[in-house]
Structure 1
Amino acid sequence: MAEALRFLFFTYLISIATARNALKKSSYSTLDATILGHGDATPTGSNFSFVCNPSRYSSLGLDMSNFAFCDSSLSYHVRAKDLVNHMTLHEKVQQLGDRAYGVPRLGLPEYEWWSEALHGVSNVGPGTFLMILFLVVSTEARAMYNLGRAGLTYWSPTINVVRDPRWGRTIETPGEDPFIVGSYASNYVRGLQDVEGTENYTDLNSRPLKVSSCCKHFAAYDVDNWQGIERYSFDARVTEQDMVETFLRPFEMCVKDGDVSSIMCSYNRVNGVPTCADPKLLNQTIRGDWNLHGYIVADCDSIQVMVDDHKYLSDTKEDAVAQTLKAGLDLDCGIYYTNYTESSVQQGKAREEDIDRSLTYLYVVLMRLGFFDGSPQFQSLGKADVCSKEHIELATQAAREGIVLLKNDDETLPLSSNNINSLAVVGPHANATKAMLGNYAGVPCRIVAPIDGFSIYANVSYEIGCDVACKNQSLIFPATKAAKEADATVIVAGIDLSVEAESLDREDLLLPGYQTELINQVAKVAKAPVILVIMSAGGIDISFAKDNTNIKAILWAGYPGEEGGRAIADVVFGKYNPGGKLPLTWHEADYVDQLPMTSLQLRPDDKLGYPGRTYKFFNGSTVYPFGYGLSYTKFMYNLTSSLSSVPIKLNRFQHCHHLSYDKDTFMPSCPSVRTEHLSCDDHLTFEVEVQNVGSRDGSEVIMVYAKPPKGIVGAPIKQEGTPL
């Protein structure tokens, strides 16, 4: 049951995670050229093996025995401190940016920390050059590292909770539930970092890493650019309750459960303080309370943003680097640490001991990665391990599992290829290539557009009807003509990175331009069943299609990646029975008129008339609710056994605490106790029997919610509970 609950939301994300940034029909020759090094080289060069290689030091004219940091019998911490102690102040600060310049006299090479792996190994960031599949990202990343085409430190995943449906970076995230986001984060990190057989290492600061992962953006970051309000100057005003329950919880799970080796702080301020300069968030919370085994990095140019945009405390450049170093920021994606830390120390602002501490954290991570000593278990990985047939099939399966069936009137789906000879495939994403790929993507192994996927099952006639922006209706008529003549019609519509993206929040929840007119006109004249497929990350108000009896079925495909067209066709024609569920509430269009994006409060604000946010606190009508999704079969649930309560006896050191109840609700004599003061050995357990009573095989996810007693002011309507 626990595995099923995790897998549901995980598969949604991997369907987005297979996204790739390339033109249609990218060939293996393009891939080969990239792998073989006909592009830019990594800073360490394609012949680099590992730092503490005796033959390497010999070729450099250096005696490796003079450097204790190359003595593998010593602990990583001791070795890292020795390396730092060998450096001058100038040499130290040259290692504090995302481009670490190395120290030639010590045999320390350059290293580029900035690599991305949100949707596979991305070509965003100077450390990486090839996109790969999400589930095999660490294997392929290691292979690319061996080929001199990628780094070892990946600043992914994005685990901010989607608080508002307008957020442009919804495309990067696991959804709106903090527990689901945190579960995804810990699984993502474990997939990237864990070396088989070392998952339960006693000393976590020396536990080997396959590649290094980074959970971002910490914290309360979910406004990019909304009505002129930008992330670079935004001050997120957050209650302590929302901070703990929602904005911090995924990061806590990422550190404690995933044992991530890096956390990235965000551009914004939280209650007046830039996150990258907040010692409470960095030193006290991440490093102290959660016990991070790794380093803390700034989102790129965040220190510069503090000075130029936040104008925090009217700091000079030297003041800013002193503030962030003291707060616990170890690495600057940018040039401020590199350019201004030395002068900050000379002015008596930054402390060299803070620099030494940060560098030690950084080099311990690189040692755990084998950057200094090598990783024999991965040295055989190479070109054959990138874009293998197994990985391409995995991309297809990921895309299939991420598709959500939203409507299926009269059991129209799946279509039968025996009855469908001609198929009209129309709409702005009918021939989608780049639009399927999402952001932070790289070069694909190959790409299959929807029209290519459907061509396997029927003779396809394709008309675009209109593009995503769809500023006129001139191309709608050819689409309606194709629908009139076909045995069935599939409309592939939605949005793309011109509507929702980093640095671009949405203004509304509607389809752009004349897409609604296209869909309605095609549905009106089509002679056979009409199926609507939506590509998007955020929800769209498609109430008109949901209520249109001529549109028999609706699928949401997210941004399904390089094999997306094949996956969509497989679902429509029944090769795969969809089992995905929505990780987001799909709100009606007027939701955006009820409250501004800049209000971070999750609970309703009756004084301002703001509704609650996410399924936990919003009680209004929706287009489709969080967790919604149909199947081609039916499942029957039966609660076979349960415990209705667990008795807790308080001792004399445990005290009752007040809770606010609605005035018409009975309040018990002991409304609440602090859970950290309880030693509970009992668990509330139950068993659920789930039976497939339909005619097709299918998968079902059991979603477990916790509901509080009625009448408690500010309590969630319900929330995801820890799966059993």
Structure 2
Amino acid sequence: MALSLPVFSQTKSSSDAGAKRPWMDTSQPIDKRVDALIGQMTLEEKAQQMRDHAPAIPRLGVPKYDWWNEGLHGVAFSGYATNFPQVIGMAATWDTPLVHQMAETISTEARAKYNQAMRQNQHEAFFGLTFWAPNINIFRDPRWGRGQETYGEDPFLTGRMAVAFVSGMQGSDPAHFKVISTPKHFAVHSGPESTRHRANVDVSNHDLEDTYLPAFRAAVTEAHAQSVMCAYNSIDGAPACANDMLLKDHLRDAWHFDGYVVSDCAAVADVFTGHHYAADMPHAAAAAVRSGTDLECGYMEGQAFPSLVDAVHQNLITEAEVDRALHRLFAARFRLGMFDPPSSYAYGRIGMDENNTPQHRQLSLKAARESMVLLKNEGALPLKAGVKKIAVIGPTAELVQSLQGNYNGPPPNPVYPLNGIEKRFKGVQVAYAMGSTLAQGFAMPIEHTALHPAAGSSEYGLKGEYFASPDFSGSPVLTRVDRNVNFNWDKVVPVKGLQRNNYSIRWSGMFVPPAPGDYRLGVRINYCYACENAEEFRLYVDDKLMAKSGAKSAERGEVFESPIHLDNTKPHAIRLEYLHKEGTAGIDLTWQAPAEVLREEAVQQAKGADVIVACMGLSPSLEGEEMPVKLEGFSGGDRTEITLPDAQEELIKALVGTGTPVVVVLQNGSALAVNYAAEHAAAVLEAWYPGEEGGTAIAETLAGDNNPAGRLPVTFYKSLAQLPSFDDYGMKGRTYRYMTEKPLYGFGYGLSYATFSYGDIKVAANSVKAGEPVRVQTQVTNTGKVAGDEVAELYLAQPQTEVSPRMVLAGFKRIHLEAGKSANVDFELDPRTLSEVDADGKHVIMPGEYKVYVGSTQPGDQTRTATFTVNGKAELPK
């Protein structure tokens, strides 16, 4: 019988197995075991093992393995997992120990899932141990849809977060990795999404070394990342996955990287098809491997490494070069313990009882609390005692996608802002209305107030009947009322009594339109990336078929809808039948309601309220990775405007027009030019995509239970007029480091319910030699009436050259202080932090005067300063 598990797991002694298969002998050094295994493979087998979907080799006891796994802010695509705030929100915490703790949690849950899958002899995608995270590209332009996946615009902040994440993921066992972390996308990758498969990036030596590479260097040299993902784009005419300057000169020669390089998906094929850098697939594959790409992610036509066999036969590459790459890959698998008895090391014994635990959910809540950034407050927050009515208005108040972010696992019980406010403010009347769509032409889940489970019922939602069959046969295993139909069930069991696959659900009840008008009713199946689903649905209104599934509907996440004209507000029978066979599961019951109808409903609900909480923002369905989205302000995953979409802007204006104080809560993954809200709202709170407990954290912050201390990891520009063109990768005029105009809200900005003061800055030495570290100390005091966190930010102004940034972030610490208490804060500026990059791309510590600033945000007129002098000049390695 063909083997799918290594022999060791079925034997009592690894040395017994090693007598027949020496690579199974755990007493031998890993390099020797790997060489023994590779020596038994054919060239064809070697080429197949260098692809992300690596097949089993039964005769050698090598199981099938899928290298593609995602864990950006929680284990993704493999069932229920703790869903932390999106990475841009984690960056807003300015809390590296917290990011490290998040990564430890992610890797624990990843191990739990992998170990369980191995016990069940399952080898499907996304249940492995090699994780393609973190994304440490620099968020240089707010138009980039994937910027939400990054730690923001600053190389220093991104580098510190990268080190915290990678070290937390990979663990501290010297013999085994917990998982392997893959910083991506190496390098200079940050949009546009529409041209990424063919774009060549022209970037100066200065910008490359000063902005785009430092975080990768830190992840490799400090955290010892064991994998790196090369990017789609070319740099200086050479595709990133066949780029000697990146993969040889920097990664392996200068940084001494000893892990493996994986391509972004289809990036090796792009060497031929997109960049036309190679004559054909064998030449593309050979060029990639010779530069240092060891593993190919490829799908459909994007498969190049199978042609390595032809490349060897054509003498484009030697089999020894193939073996070198393969050795790196199997060394990683062996160091992960995949060929050792699971009981022989601690990580192999982690069980499913450590997945998605209450403690992990509490950590997600802590992260959500810390990610909150208060941008404006004219005394409206925290909400005053005695509030009798809160109007919660807006399209993100009850939208699971705007909690989750992208590259996420489904949280089992997500808390929406509306849920959180209802729970926190018990006894207070909470009114709700959607108020608008996210963007004109974008279908939204139908608001729960327009749905009832039966005629004449005052309860909101639809009756849901859950069947343990794919065709509604038998009796439902569960009948309940679902407040709305907006579900993500990726590889999970929706309710007890079902399996992951082959079930059906029927939702039925009454649809009550808020006003007459022209509507569009429809269904959206969960977005599925690079997978084949078997999903069906049928939507009926008054027993008339309105929409049904089409070919490959799940793969692209389309909405299937039909127009309907309603002359009145009478109830209409509605029924949605959902038949799930296999693959990614999840479904939304959607509408596009007339804008004026939604807006007027919101204004009516807001009447008599003491405060309006306007939940606005975006969704990963609008901003993200290479998506088929083409709406006003959005194109292919990127943004063409950075203002709030018009529908939301008009809603905010209507709410402000009521005269009731408006608190705007933003959920988004990128900077928004919220100029009207900044001027007219009573308060503005940036909540990002805050994860499964986001609604709790938002409500606690509104109530004052959580004192916000998050800081912006990106600049909030006033308009696109403040930015160079999107496809210009030069840093001049971009980010706080090179921007000379005043933004709407600056990098590092964030308010608190407390006030803090800073003492004098003390520099350990007024004069140092080039290459010596500099110690800086100050005292921070909470001068407010409530306890709170403070983020002390240290900025450094270096001797100026033609290419120098205005200043750079050179240190930060998040501390907690009770009211009236003080704490000393210490920083050490190491030689690399003190250095700057000259026009040739060299890291140099320049002689002259340096100035340090320490405060709550970027330097202003009142910021404390100190100076010191560096004597001599020193050049640092790449």
Residue by residue over 1:478-528, the C-alpha shift from the partner in whole angstroms, topping out at 9 and shown as x without a partner, is: 11112222122100001112432112211011111321110011112043x
Q: Given that residues 51 and 373 in structure 1 are in contact (C-alpha distance below 8 angstroms), is that contact kept between their aligned partners in structure 2?
A: no
Q: Given that residues 473 and 514 in structure 1 are in contact (C-alpha distance below 8 angstroms), is that contact kept between their aligned partners in structure 2?
A: no
Q: Which amino acid aligns with 2:245?
A: K
> d(CA) in 1 for partners of 2:19 and 2:131?
32
CA spacing shift, 1:633–1:44, aligned 2, 3 Å:
farther
> d(CA) in 1 for partners of 2:348 and 2:621?
41
Note the C-alpha offset of 1:717. Answer: 0.7
Is structure 2 residue 756 aligned with structure 1 residue 635? yes
Is structure 2 residue 264 aligned with structure 1 residue 287? no
The residue that corresponds to 1:540 in the other structure is 672
Is structure 2 residue 420 aligned with structure 1 residue 297? no
Is structure 2 residue 155 aligned with structure 1 residue 178? yes
> d(CA) in 2 for partners of 1:297 and 1:361?
11
Q: Which amino acid aligns with 2:227?
A: S
Q: Normalising by structure 2, what TM-score?
A: 0.68
> d(CA) in 2 for partners of 1:568 and 1:88?
57
Note the C-alpha offset of 1:543. Answer: 1.4
> d(CA) in 1 for partners of 2:761 and 2:187?
41
Q: 1:361 aligns with which of 298, 303, 328?
A: 328
Q: Secondary structure at the match of 1:700?
A: strand
Q: Secondary structure at the match of 1:263?
A: strand
Residue by residue over 1:552-573, the C-alpha shift from the partner in whole angstroms, topping out at 9 and shown as x without a partner, is: 1110001011111111001000
Note the C-alpha offset of 1:643. Answer: 4.4
Note the C-alpha offset of 1:533. Answer: 0.4
Q: Secondary structure at the match of 1:312?
A: coil
The residue that corresponds to 2:46 in the other structure is 92
Note the C-alpha offset of 1:591. Answer: 2.8
Q: Which amino acid aligns with 1:116?
A: E
Residue by residue over 1:335-381, the C-alpha shift from the partner in whole angstroms, topping out at 9 and shown as x without a partner, is: 63542111111111121011100111111111111111144313442
Is structure 2 residue 683 aligned with structure 1 residue 683? no
Note the C-alpha offset of 1:256. Answer: 0.7
Is structure 2 residue 296 aligned with structure 1 residue 332? yes
CA spacing shift, 1:147–1:54, aligned 2, 3 Å:
closer
Q: Which amino acid aligns with 2:239?
A: P
Note the C-alpha offset of 1:279. Answer: 1.8
Note the C-alpha offset of 1:55. Answer: 2.0
Note the C-alpha offset of 1:545. Answer: 1.2
The residue that corresponds to 1:261 in the other structure is 226
> d(CA) in 1 for partners of 2:720 and 2:272?
38
Q: Secondary structure at the match of 1:624?
A: coil
Residue by residue over 1:670-690, the C-alpha shift from the partner in whole angstroms, topping out at 9 and shown as x without a partner, is: xxxxxxxx5x3x432221100
Q: 2:24 aligns with which of 59, 62, 70?
A: 70
> d(CA) in 1 for partners of 2:369 and 2:272?
46
> d(CA) in 2 for partners of 1:102 and 1:151?
14
Q: Given that residues 322 and 351 in structure 1 are in contact (C-alpha distance below 8 angstroms), is that contact kept between their aligned partners in structure 2?
A: no
Residue by residue over 1:637-691, the C-alpha shift from the partner in whole angstroms, topping out at 9 and shown as x without a partner, is: 012522463243xxxxxxxxxxxxxxxxxxxxxxxxxxxxx5x3x4322211000
Q: Given that residues 276 and 303 in structure 1 are in contact (C-alpha distance below 8 angstroms), is that contact kept between their aligned partners in structure 2?
A: yes
CA spacing shift, 1:98–1:88, aligned 2, 3 Å:
same
Is structure 2 residue 314 aligned with structure 1 residue 352? no
Residue by residue over 1:379-417, the C-alpha shift from the partner in whole angstroms, topping out at 9 and shown as x without a partner, is: 4422321121111111111111101000111x221113x
Which shifted more, 564-573 or 338-347? 338-347
Q: Secondary structure at the match of 1:686?
A: strand
CA spacing shift, 1:455–1:320, aligned 2, 3 Å:
same
> d(CA) in 2 for partners of 1:685 and 1:564?
38
What are the within-5 Å matches in structure 2 for residues 491-640 of structure 1?
Answer: 491-503=614-626, 504-527=637-660, 529-548=661-680, 551-591=681-721, 594-603=723-732, 612-640=733-761
Residue by residue over 1:611-643, the C-alpha shift from the partner in whole angstroms, topping out at 9 and shown as x without a partner, is: x11110001021100000000000000125224
Q: Secondary structure at the match of 2:666?
A: strand
Residue by residue over 1:196-245, the C-alpha shift from the partner in whole angstroms, topping out at 9 and shown as x without a partner, is: xx4xx5xxxxx4210111000000111133xxx51011111011111111
Q: Given that residues 579 and 630 in structure 1 are in contact (C-alpha distance below 8 angstroms), is that contact kept between their aligned partners in structure 2?
A: yes
CA spacing shift, 1:636–1:271, aligned 2, 3 Å:
same
Residue by residue over 1:533-587, the C-alpha shift from the partner in whole angstroms, topping out at 9 and shown as x without a partner, is: 0111111111111111xx2111000101111111100100011100000000000
The residue that corresponds to 1:274 in the other structure is 239
Q: Which amino acid aligns with 2:604?
A: K
Q: Which amino acid aligns with 1:717?
A: R
Q: Secondary structure at the match of 1:218?
A: coil
> d(CA) in 2 for partners of 1:108 and 1:278?
31
Q: Given that residues 337 and 348 in structure 2 are in contact (C-alpha distance below 8 angstroms), is that contact kept between their aligned partners in structure 1?
A: no
Which shifted more, 568-577 or 490-499? 490-499
Q: Which amino acid aligns with 1:55?
A: T
Note the C-alpha offset of 1:44. Answer: 9.4
The residue that corresponds to 2:11 in the other structure is 55
> d(CA) in 2 for partners of 1:445 and 1:531?
29
Note the C-alpha offset of 1:54. Answer: 5.1
> d(CA) in 1 for partners of 2:768 and 2:618?
52
CA spacing shift, 1:423–1:325, aligned 2, 3 Å:
same
Q: Secondary structure at the match of 1:597?
A: coil
Superposed CA RMSD = 2.0
Which shifted more, 569-578 or 366-375? 366-375
The residue that corresponds to 2:281 in the other structure is 317
> d(CA) in 1 for partners of 2:52 and 2:761?
55
The residue that corresponds to 1:38 in the other structure is none
Note the C-alpha offset of 1:133. Answer: 4.1
Q: 1:79 aligns with which of 33, 40, 46?
A: 33
Note the C-alpha offset of 1:306. Answer: 1.6
Q: Which amino acid aligns with 1:523?
A: V
Q: Secondary structure at the match of 2:613?
A: strand
Is structure 2 residue 86 aligned with structure 1 residue 132? no
Aligned length: 613
> d(CA) in 2 for partners of 1:689 and 1:697?
17
Note the C-alpha offset of 1:709. Answer: 3.3
The residue that corresponds to 2:475 in the other structure is none
CA spacing shift, 1:494–1:570, aligned 2, 3 Å:
same
The residue that corresponds to 1:651 in the other structure is none
Is structure 2 residue 203 aligned with structure 1 residue 194? no
The residue that corresponds to 1:147 in the other structure is 116
> d(CA) in 1 for partners of 2:107 and 2:285?
33
Q: Secondary structure at the match of 2:663?
A: strand
CA spacing shift, 1:579–1:273, aligned 2, 3 Å:
same
The residue that corresponds to 1:21 in the other structure is none
> d(CA) in 1 for partners of 2:8 and 2:257?
26
> d(CA) in 2 for partners of 1:316 and 1:270?
20
Q: Which amino acid aligns with 1:543?
A: N
> d(CA) in 2 for partners of 1:490 and 1:445?
26
Q: Given that residues 97 and 337 in structure 1 are in contact (C-alpha distance below 8 angstroms), is that contact kept between their aligned partners in structure 2?
A: no
Gaps spanning 5+ residues in structure 1: where?
Answer: 1-42, 202-206, 604-611, 649-677
> d(CA) in 2 for partners of 1:365 and 1:572?
47
The residue that corresponds to 1:28 in the other structure is none
Q: 2:178 aligns with which of 207, 210, 213?
A: 210
The residue that corresponds to 1:673 in the other structure is none
The residue that corresponds to 2:201 in the other structure is 236
Gaps spanning 5+ residues in structure 2: where?
Answer: 85-101, 442-594, 627-636, 813-826, 828-878
Q: Given that residues 8 and 17 in structure 2 are in contact (C-alpha distance below 8 angstroms), is that contact kept between their aligned partners in structure 1?
A: no
Q: Secondary structure at the match of 1:310?
A: coil
> d(CA) in 2 for partners of 1:640 and 1:601?
34
Q: Which amino acid aligns with 2:156?
A: F
Q: Which amino acid aligns with 1:252?
A: R
Give the % identical residues: 35
Q: Secondary structure at the match of 2:638?
A: coil
The residue that corresponds to 2:545 in the other structure is none
Q: Given that residues 480 and 526 in structure 1 are in contact (C-alpha distance below 8 angstroms), is that contact kept between their aligned partners in structure 2?
A: no
